[in-house]
Amino acid sequence: MDQPSRSAGTVRPGGRTARVRAAVLEATQDALVEHGFHALTMDQIAARAGVGKTTVYRRWGSPAGLVTDLMNEFANQSSPHADTGSIEGDLRANALMVMEALNDPRLGVTLQAVIAAATSDEQAALALRTFYLRRIDEWATVVELAVARGELPQGTHAEELIRAVSAPLYYRLVVTREPVTREVAEASVARALAAARAGAFVTAGDRSP
Amino acid sequence: MDQPSRSAGTVRPGGRTARVRAAVLEATQDALVEHGFHALTMDQIAARAGVGKTTVYRRWGSPAGLVTDLMNEFANQSSPHADTGSIEGDLRANALMVMEALNDPRLGVTLQAVIAAATSDEQAALALRTFYLRRIDEWATVVELAVARGELPQGTHAEELIRAVSAPLYYRLVVTREPVTREVAEASVARALAAARAGAFVTAGDRSP
């Protein structure tokens, strides 16, 4: 194994530059969780991370730059798509993963802080969009596999079906401010799947042969 | 008609108290659109509205109090549910109304500012939830009428179907930061309706006889 041992929690690959980045991103997430994006300052992050201000300004440029790098890191760390053998199992795995992320006291609050930041900051909005489009693209594979297996109609729009599973969970979290329960996650899967089986996700822009 | 003429734009019913409220809520919305919730201060709103600070503090208490009253006013001004004679027509009317609200340069930005505020302020979150639950309740009637007409299965969860129509639009607006187009609105209706017709919104807690 070329990888450092995962049990050596304080040893990070990549030397000083990677350690600085890890400390700065952790400080950024701490600050977002505690006070939100609007209270985030470069000086405060430098102090929290134990890193020189000049380094933080030079490498990240702005609070939105910090958030962008944090979202990149989330995308890199996120789980690959499931492969349970059925579209129902795969979409359920996706919905439960989203539910757990949104209810996680650290990750869920961080995502909400970035969603809030994105309403008024274009760079944060781009970071958010990039993160979610990568996640949607990763999970769209489960729909393509289901179409290939004959579980779903030819021409089913893979990305749209993945969006449809997540949308009701985020709607409750940030719009109606209602709990995102397991029941909500499972109902979302059942409804998206019923619509997909009925052909409601087949689009004119069908890319399948 | 007991109502004052709507064409007399500067004459508002209710005298001074109502005029003060209208000026303060307009100043609140202006401030949200321009700088967001975090920059909103009571003194700035008093100055913009041309109203004494004491009045603003006494009647609204805090920036979150201003946002709460603004959302109450939105709820009071919002359109009643459609009644086109078909569930497809009614849900399309709902989706297009949501689409127009979200894309409106003033209303859409205001709603996003309150969504952002709600991620870190409990009072703003309550105002947001109250507003949306009122809107969902208002539009749930179209589902109940459709069930009564035999267009949808007995036991279809009315509020959940209304949530399902809106969710993909809000998901694109605030999470994936993608455009909320007419195509998106119409696809959302088609998918929610396909799932409803397949019985995917029938719940164990069926309240119909």
pLDDT tens, position by position, A148-165: 999 999 999 999 999 999
Give the closest of A117, A168, A178 to B164, CB-based.
A168
ipTM value: 0.91
**Residue span of the structural domain in which B102 resides:** 80-202
Tokens of B200: 């995917």
Residue A204 has pLDDT above 90, yes or no: no
Q: Are residues A90 and A28 in the same domain?
A: no
- In degrees, rounded to 5, the angle at the alpha carbon of residue A203 between the alpha carbons of residues A201 and A209 is 110
Size (chain A), residues: 209
Q: Does B133 touch chain A (CB under 8 A)?
A: yes
Give the model's pLDDT for residue B13: 62
Residues B93 and B196 in one domain: yes
More confident residue, B11 or B64: B64
* Per-residue pLDDT, A7: 39
In chain B, what residues touch A71 (CB-CB under 8 Å)? none
Percentage with pLDDT > 90 across chain B: 88
Compare CB distances from B125 to A136, A164, A177 and report the shortest one's residue.
A177
pLDDT digit string, tens, across residues A45-92: 999 999 999 999 999 999 999 999 999 999 999 999 999 999 999 999
Distance from CA of B26 to the nearest CA of A (A): 20
Higher pLDDT, A175 or B6: A175
Task: Specify the amino acid at residue B2.
Answer: D
Tell whether the model's pLDDT for residue A13 goes beyond 90. Answer: no
Which of B125, B163, B198 is nearest residue A198 as measured by Cβ atoms?
B198
Q: Which helix (H) or strand (E) holds A70?
A: helix A63-77
Tell me whether residues B175 and A132 touch, CB distance under 8 A. yes
> B163 vs chain A: nearest CA distance in angstroms?
7
Q: Do A60 and A102 lie in a common domain?
A: no
- The mean pLDDT value for A192-201 works out to 98
Same domain, A70 and A89: no
Task: Give the model's pLDDT for residue A12.
Answer: 53
Selected residues 54-113 of chain A with any CB under 8 Å from a CB in chain B = 112-113
What is residue A14's predicted lDDT score, i.e. its pLDDT?
Answer: 75
Mean of pLDDT values over B141-169: 98
pLDDT over 90 (residue A122) = yes
Q: What is the pTM of this model?
A: 0.91
Judge if A110 and A143 occupy the same domain. Answer: yes
CATH for B39: 1.10.10.60
Tell me what percent of the residues of chain A surpass a pLDDT of 90: 88
- Higher per-residue confidence, A119 vs B204: A119
Q: Is A167 on the interface with B (CB under 8 A)?
A: yes
Residue where the block lists tokens 């001004």: B77
**In chain A, what residues touch B175 (CB-CB under 8 Å)?**
115, 128, 132, 166, 170, 174
On whether both A108 and A177 belong to a single domain, the answer is: yes
Residue of B nearest to A190 (CA): B200
Q: Say yes or no to pLDDT of A175 above 70.
A: yes
CATH number where B194 lies: 1.10.357.10
CA B84 to chain centre: 21
Inside any domain, residue A207:
no
Same domain, B124 and B191: yes
Angle between helix B158-170 and helix A158-170 axes, rounded to 10 deg: 110
Is A120 near chain B, with CB under 8 Å?
yes
| Chain B interface test: which of A161, A181, A191 (most B C-beta within 10 Å) | A191
Residues B135, B196, B186: CA angle, nearest 5 degrees? 65
Residue A206 pLDDT exceeds 60: no
Contact at CB, A119 and B174, closer than 8 angstroms: yes
Q: Is residue A3 part of a domain?
A: no
User: What is the number of structural domains in chain B?
Assistant: 2
Q: Which of B32, B47, B74 is the last residue of a domain?
A: B74
Do B182 and B89 share a structural domain?
yes
Residue after which a domain boundary falls, among A53, A74, A95: A74
C-alpha to C-alpha distance for A49 and A46, rounded to whole angstroms: 5
User: Model confidence over B26-50: pLDDT tens digits?
Assistant: 999 999 999 999 999 999 999 999 9
Summarize the confidence of residues B87-94 as an average pLDDT: 98
Q: Whose CA is closest to A154, among A201, A92, A87?
A: A201
Listed in sequence order, the residues at least 6 apart from B56 whose beta carbon sits closer than 8 Å to its beta carbon are B24, B42, B45, B46, B49, B66
Q: For B105-145, what is each residue's pLDDT tens digit?
A: 999 999 999 999 999 999 999 999 999 999 999 999 999 99
What confidence tens digit (pLDDT) does each residue in A84-114 have?
999 999 999 999 999 999 999 999 999 999 9
Q: How far is the C-alpha of A122 from the C-alpha of A13, rounded, in Å?
A: 32
B198 & B107 share domain: yes
* Last residue within a domain, chosen from A26, A47, A74: A74
The average confidence (pLDDT) of chain B is 92
**pLDDT for B207:** 44
Looking at beta carbons, which residues of chain B come within 8 Å of A112? 119-120
Q: Does some domain include residue A7?
A: no
Of A136, A187, A195, the CB nearest to B191: A195
Is residue B193 a contact partner of residue B88, using CB atoms and an 8 Å limit? yes
Residue B41 resides in a domain: yes
Examine the pLDDT at B208 and tell me if it is beyond 60: no
Do B84 and B167 belong together in one domain? yes
* DSSP letter for each residue of chain B: --SPPTT-TT--TTHHHHHHHHHHHHHHHHHHHHH-GGG--HHHHHHHHT--HHHHHHHH-SHHHHHHHHHHHHHHHSPPPP--SSHHHHHHHHHHHHHHHHH-TTHHHHHHHHHHHHTT-HHHHHHHHHHHHHHHHHHHHHHHHHHHHTSS-TTB-HHHHHHHHHHHHHIIIIIS-----HHHHHHHHHHHHHHHHTTTTB-SS----
Please count the residue pairs, one from chain A and one from chain B, whose beta carbons lie less than 8 angstroms apart. Answer: 132
Chain A residues within 8 A of B170 when measuring between CB atoms? 167, 170-171, 174-175
Is pLDDT above 90 for B11? Answer: no
Identity of the residue in B126, B132, B160 whose CB atom sits nearest the CB atom of A175: B132
